[in-house]
Amino acid sequence: MSLPKRACDRRKALQLLAGTGAAGLAAPLAACGRRSGAAGRKAIVLGIDGLDPGIVRTLVAQGRLPNFKKLTERGALLPLTTTMPALSPVAWASFITGQTPGGHGIGDFIARDPATHMPVFSIFENRAPRLTIDFGDLHLPLAGGGPTCLRQGKPFWAYLTERGIPAWISRVPTNFPVEETATCALSGLGTPDLFDSYGSFSYYTSDRLEVYGDISGGTVQHVEVRDHRVDAELFGPVNSLVTSEEISSGAGRVSVPLTVRLDPDREAALVEVGGRRLVLEQGEYSDWVKVEFTLLPLIGRVSGIVRFLLKQVRPRFQLYATAVNIDPTDQAVPVTYPKELGAEIARDIGAFWTKGLPADTKALDYRIINDQQYVGQAELLLEEQVALFRHLWARFRDGLFFFYVSSADQDAHMLWRNMDPTHPFHQHSDRRFSGWIHYVYERMDALLGEVLPAVDDSTLLLICSDHGFASFAREFHLNTWLRDHGYLDVRDGARRKEETDITDVDWTRTAAYGIGFNGLYLNLQGRERGGIVKPEQAAALTARLARELEAIVDPETGIRPVAKVYQRDEIYVGEATPGMAELLVGYTPGYRSSSPSVLGGAGRATIGLNRWAWSGDHSMARDLVPGTLAASRPLRTTRPDILDLPVTILDWFGVSRPEQMVGRSLLG
């Protein structure tokens, strides 16, 4: 899924043109560790995305999570009520602000522009500069513009830093560009790669029969091997400093030469890119390689980092490259605060992933990489996150320490089928990795073991996740169902198409449409352009839609794919509520919205097999995929809510619940 390719590097370009790129702060982590007047109180929060309470309980009972058991005996281990939808950006935005989606404005990964009905990314957007100057073919921004976080509401840690209490915030989702209200921070989910996309890999193959069709999430380049040598290009960002005509023609994307020299005697190669050379054995991932892309000669450049995997030398040449990440030591856009924090961390642990969802799920979905190669990448990522944690943890003194780990979520998405014998594609997966997800849980237990000794009467420890997990075996094509039941129509010219997209919809005859993983919107008069549903008709229409969706039965399984349809106005409060989806479709575990429906598309069948490697999910009815909460102290309820967590943390530091927050403190 690509994002609008506009001004990702504008701020960096301005720094370069103004000569300020070398300015820095002394010892940023020393500043992070300054003591405050908070009487030495500490709150340690490990945010483990996707940590499922059922799996945790099972592994605790098996003796495989000894530190979780110790924490449970000391305090509590409970399911955590999450948001609807049970999606990471939605839930973590509620954790950050203490608000429902109607308050913070993020209701899904994907929202829609009511003026066009087109899907848009919900976490951030790139805005055009307020002031530019043109020199021939050059288009130079002078003021404003660049990436803007779309999450609304004041982050809870700002109430701490305003009182002199340090707040260390590492990789919390929906925090890009990085929130400067923290003492020290790293951006998280929502951070793009250098191409300004959700993550765009590169794949080079000499096999002309290796064709992937309409691939998303990456590019495939067919190359030739001549005299044991391959010449290609590694593409970087769109150059926003050239004219819009050049960008639209494709000439605006910058690149660097990529040369690979194949060893004629063994399965190895020398890779040369951006003036750097590295030797790779077949099947081996490289370290991070720094690559600089030139925007303007002499004064305009942008820096990224990339890893390579030499898949095969012969008989076919195959080379995979990760998305080009923003270089944390030379940031095109802010991914750490202060900026110099990225370079300081890299001096200790080396370069590190900055892309918000770092594991390359699309490459596995399209079988560019296989299960073993995905796990190889996942292991590198896991080790890197542990190293980052240790770097920060060694310097923490008091205040709030929040650290987020993505592995339990992303690896469960991609390797659930390996673990689950009931999944239809279990037999076709690499079952050598059937225990990988549980291994990741054991590594999270070890991480917990590193902070557990710090718990005392002045230290609160919380382990929390945004949602749980379940199998994703069958797809529900929401827009197909809406079309077949008269709620959505397509233009006359699109009626013969087997699959339609959002541009094929006839809005003059459409009452409701799906956008996002769980959102069902009315085509409402006064809100959507050309809306046909009158406001007074909305309540009856949403009630009918909910009733009919909940009554559907999958003829293949006898299961109702839609477990519950939530009425927006019953669970959301806040100024953003009226612009959000009227209904939130909560699926039964085993089912999820189809990928085409997420972007407004429709196909032939309403229900079908999920054929992707992405085989585990959580975009289901929130009551069926709760998160996990473990605490070092007893809690006053057995039904905690993710909205309670920011209130609880503030209460621990003696800060009263802010008016914007709707939760309650869990402390007695």
Q: How far is CA 177 from CA 148, 188, 404, in A?
A: 6, 9, 17
Residue 237, pLDDT score:
84
Mean pLDDT of each 10-residue bin along the chain, 668 residues long: 32 32 44 54 97 98 98 97 98 98 98 96 82 59 74 97 97 94 96 85 96 89 97 86 48 86 97 95 97 76 95 97 97 94 97 95 96 98 98 97 98 98 96 97 98 97 98 98 98 93 97 98 97 98 98 98 98 97 98 97 96 97 98 97 98 97 96
Residue 36, pLDDT score:
46
> How many Å apart are CA 127 and CA 148, to the nearest integer?
7
Q: Is residue 482 part of a domain?
A: yes
Residue 10, pLDDT score:
32
DSSP secondary structure letters along 547-595 = HHHHT---TTT---SEEEEEEHHHH--STTGGGS-SEEEEEPTEEEE-H
222 Cβ contact list (under 8 Å, min separation 6): 205, 206, 207, 208, 210
Q: Which H, E and C letters describe 92-159, residue by residue?
A: HHHHHHCCCHHHHCCCCCEEECCCCCCEEECCEEEECCCEEEEECCEEEEEECCEEEECCCCCCHHHH
What are the φ and ψ backbone dihedral angles of 450, each rounded to 5 degrees? -80, -25
Q: Is residue 427 part of a domain?
A: no
User: Which residues sit opposite 219 in a β-bridge?
Assistant: 202
Which residue from 333, 238, 340 is spatially nearest to 12, judged by alpha carbons?
333
Which residue from 55, 4, 17, 61 is spatially nearest to 440, judged by alpha carbons?
55
Q: Is residue 72 part of a domain?
A: no
Q: Is residue 210 part of a domain?
A: no
Cα within 13 Å of Cα(119), Cβ side: 25
- State the residue range of the domain holding 499: 473-613
- Tokens of residue 635, six digits: 């809690």
Please give the model's pTM, rounded to 2 decimal places.
0.92
- The answer to whether the CB of 544 falls within 8 A of the CB of 485 is no
Using CA of residue 527, residue 528, residue 531, residue 537, what is the dihedral sign?
Answer: negative
Which residue from 625, 608, 600 is spatially nearest to 51, judged by alpha carbons?
625
Cis preceding-peptide flag for 315 (omega within 30 of 0): yes
Q: Is residue 598 part of a domain?
A: yes
DSSP secondary structure letters along 207-249 = -TT---SS--SEEEEE---BTTEEEEEEEEEE-TTB-HHHHHT
Q: Is residue 106 part of a domain?
A: no
Residue 12, pLDDT score:
37
Residue 142, pLDDT score:
55
Residue 126, pLDDT score:
81
Residue 195, pLDDT score:
83
Q: Is residue 368 part of a domain?
A: no
Cα dihedral 278, 279, 281, 283 in deg (nearest 10) = 10
- Tokens of residue 218, six digits: 């990456």
Q: Is residue 651 part of a domain?
A: no
Q: How many domains does the chain have?
A: 1
Residue 131: how many other CB atoms lie within 10 Å: 10
- The answer to whether the CB of 267 falls within 8 A of the CB of 281 is yes
